[in-house]
Structure 1
Amino acid sequence: MSNIDELQRRITAAMDRIANGISNAGGKTSSENQVMAAALDDEKLANAQLTERVRNLKSRYDSTLLDIQKKTDAADERVSVLDLELQRMRKSNDQLRQSNSDLRKANEEGVGEPDLINKSMLAEIESLRAARAADVAEANIILGALTPLLDQVDNVQEEGSDA
C-alpha cells in the first residue's frame, strides 16, 4: 500500500506542476494573443489601404486607357481621311497626265481640239482641289497631334501662375 500512496503523491505533485504551468502559460498566451490581435488589426488596416490604392490606380488606368483609345480612334480617322484625299489626288493627277498627253499629241498633229483643252483644264483643277484637300487633311493630323501638347503647356502655365 505504501507503494500506492507513493504513486498517488507523485501523481498529485505532477498534477500541481501541470496546473501551475497551464496558469503561467495562460497568462503569457493572453498577452501574446493581444499582441497578435493588434498586429492582425494593423495588417487588416494596411490591406484595406492597399486595396483602396489598387482600386484608385485601376480607375485611373481605365480612364487613361479610355482616353488613349479615343485619341487613337481620332488619329485613325484623320489618317483614313488623309489616305482618301491622297488617293483622290493620285487619281486626278493620272487624269491630268492623260489629258496633257492627249493634248500634246493633238498639238503635234497640228489639231488644236478645244475638247482636249477643256478636259486638261478640268483635270488640272481637280488635281489642285485634291492636293488642297490632302494638305488640309495633313494639317488636321498635325493639329490633332499638337493640340494635346498645347493643352499640357496651358495647364502647366496655369499651375505656375496659381503657385
Structure 2
Amino acid sequence: MQDITALEKRITAALERIGKGVDRMASAPKAPAPAAPPPAPAPAPDLALRAQLEDEKTLVAQLQDRIRVLKERESQGSLQEKIERLTQQLDVQGLELQRMRRTAASLRDQLAHLRQAQAAGVTEPHLINKAMLAELEALRATRMTEMAEMDEILAALEPHLAEAGNA
C-alpha cells in the first residue's frame, strides 16, 4: 500500500509538471505572424511534453493494474475468512445436532425401560403415553433443528456458489 501511495504522489507531481509546461506554452507571448512559415524546430518542446505525458499515462495504467490486482487479492482474502467463519459455525451446529441426537436416543431408552416396567406391571399406562409424547416431541424438535440448520447453511453458501458458478 505504501508503494501505491508513493506512485500516486509521483504521478500527481508529474501531471502537475506537465500542466505547468502546457500553461507556459499557452501563456507565452505570441509574436505577430511573419510572412514566412514558422521554423521547424519549434515543436521540439511539445514533443518532449507529449512523450512525458505518454510515459505518465503508461505509468498510470500500470498502477491501475496493480490496484486492481491488490483489490482482487483482498476480496479473495475476505471470502476465505467468510468461508472459515461459516465452517466454524457449521462445526458448532454439528455438535449441537449430535447433542440433540443423544437426547433423542436417551428418550427412546427411557421409553424402552418404561415399557418393560409396564410389562412387569410396575407403571401406569398414562406415564408411558407421556413418555411417548415426549419422545415424539424430541424427534420433531430434532427434525426442525436439522431443517433450520440446513436452511441457514444453504442461505450462507448460495452467494458463494453463485459466485463460483459465474467464475
Could you tell me which of 102, 123, 127 is aligned with 1:115?
Answer: 127
TM-score (norm 1): 0.52
1:73 pairs with 2:85: yes
Amino-acid identity (%): 19
Whether the aligned pair in 1 keeps the contact of 2:115 and 2:128 (CA below 8 Å) is no
Deviations 1:53-84 (Å, cap 9, x if unpaired)? 2232112221232134224423432x135314
How big is the shift at 1:45?
A: 6.4
Give the distance between the partners of 1:64 and 1:86, measured in 2 at CA.
Answer: 31
Give the distance between the partners of 2:159 and 2:75, measured in 1 at CA.
Answer: 19
Q: Across the two proteins, how many residue pairs are aligned to each other?
A: 116
Give the distance between the partners of 2:142 and 2:92, measured in 1 at CA.
Answer: 12
Query: Which is greater in Rg?
Result: 1
Alpha-carbon RMSD across the aligned residues, in angstroms, is 3.6
The change in CA–CA distance for 1:135 and 1:81 in structure 2 (over 3 A counts) is farther
In structure 1, the gaps of 5 or more residues are 1-36, 156-163
How big is the shift at 1:105?
A: 0.7
Structure having the higher helix fraction is 1
Deviations 1:20-46 (Å, cap 9, x if unpaired)? xxxxxxxxxxxxxxxxx9xxx787865
Whether the aligned pair in 2 keeps the contact of 1:92 and 1:127 (CA below 8 Å) is no
The change in CA–CA distance for 1:151 and 1:57 in structure 2 (over 3 A counts) is closer
Give the distance between the partners of 1:150 and 1:48, measured in 2 at CA.
Answer: 33
- Give the corresponding residue for 1:158: none
SS of match in other structure, 1:110: coil
- Give the corresponding residue for 1:99: 110
The change in CA–CA distance for 1:127 and 1:85 in structure 2 (over 3 A counts) is farther
TM-score (norm 2): 0.51
